[in-house]
Amino acid sequence: MIDIAHLKSIAAWSAELTPEEAERAARGITERTLDTGTYLFHRGDRFDNWAGIISGIVKMSTVTSGGKAVSYTGITVGGWFGEGSIIKDEPRQYDIVALRRTQVACMSGATFRWLFENSTGFNRFLVTQLNERLGQFIAMLGHDRAFEATPRVARCIAWLFNPILSPGVGGHLDISQEELGLISGLSRQMTNKCLKTLEENGLLRMEPDGIRVLDLPGLKHFGE
């Protein structure tokens, strides 16, 4: 259980709730800390929680039946995920692993379902988020088929800076080139080369402790 003031600081969607709904949401949330390389859950797990990132970053990925590792996306500060599995009442279809020490908020499935059934504001947020996520994965399918590294990195960064999916990021993201490579499915060396190209195009600036985005639409549509 957390208090309502803390809820408002870690969950942008709480602004959509009534006071009664916010109190119910806060009562249903606990927090966990994951060390680097620790899994929140694996593909196939029954994880009856909706999760949000308070600090740190996690990778959404899986391993195919043939043993190939597939990276979907990264989720950073302010991002919440897993609503689809709870709504459909199904095992998780992907792994979630911490790329650094990460603090996670976990809302119980019972609380999530109560909000889903009773809160207009919460459902409005979910529709917006699901629509944004759908657009993300449609774009992912398109650029993966193009097999071009730099557009892949550009879109990966754009997703991490998405103000709907990651409202806590702002204009600067604390992320290493190795972490970005893990999320985009590229080596650190190739990621560095792609970042230099994007920086030369005026789309971002590499900083000692991460990346500052200068042109988010440009990143999103780079290479089109």
What's the pLDDT score for residue 144? 60
* pLDDT confidence of residue 146: 55
Per-residue pLDDT band for 98 (boundaries 50, 70, 90) equals: very high
Residues 6+ apart with CB under 8 A from 222: 150, 151, 154, 155, 198, 201, 203
pLDDT digits (tens, 9 = 90+) for 33-88: 999 999 999 999 999 999 999 999 999 988 877 777 778 889 999 999 999 999 99
pLDDT at 224 over 80: no
The CATH 2.60.120.10 portion of the chain extends over: 4-122
- What does DSSP assign to residue 206? E
| Mean pLDDT to the nearest integer, 86-108 | 95
* Cα distance between residue 88 and residue 71, in whole Å: 23
The reported pLDDT for the residue numbered 65 is 72
pLDDT at 223: 77
For residue 122, is pLDDT > 80?
yes
Angstrom distance (rounded) from CA 130 to CA 53 = 17
Tell me where in the chain the CATH 1.10.10.10 domain(s) lie: 147-220
Handedness of CA 41, 145, 149, 190 (dihedral sign): positive
- Write out pLDDT tens, residues 161-172: 888 888 877 788
DSSP 3-37: -HHHHHHH-GGGGGS-HHHHHHHHHTEEEEEE-TT
From the candidate CATH numbers 1.10.10.10, 3.20.20.140, 1.20.120.160, 1.10.3720.10, the one assigned to the domain spanning 147-220: 1.10.10.10
Q: How confident is the model over 111-121, as pLDDT tens digits? A: 999 999 999 99
Which helix (DSSP H) or strand (DSSP E) does residue 55 occupy? strand 49-55
* Banded model confidence at residue 218, pLDDT cuts 50, 70, 90: very high
- Per-residue pLDDT at 72: 83
Residue range 4-122 forms a domain whose CATH class is: mainly beta
Q: Can you tell me whether residue 210 is helix, strand or coil? A: strand
In this prediction, residue 152 carries a pLDDT of 86
The tens digit of pLDDT for each residue in 153-208 reads 998 899 888 888 888 777 888 999 999 998 888 889 999 999 999 999 999 999 98
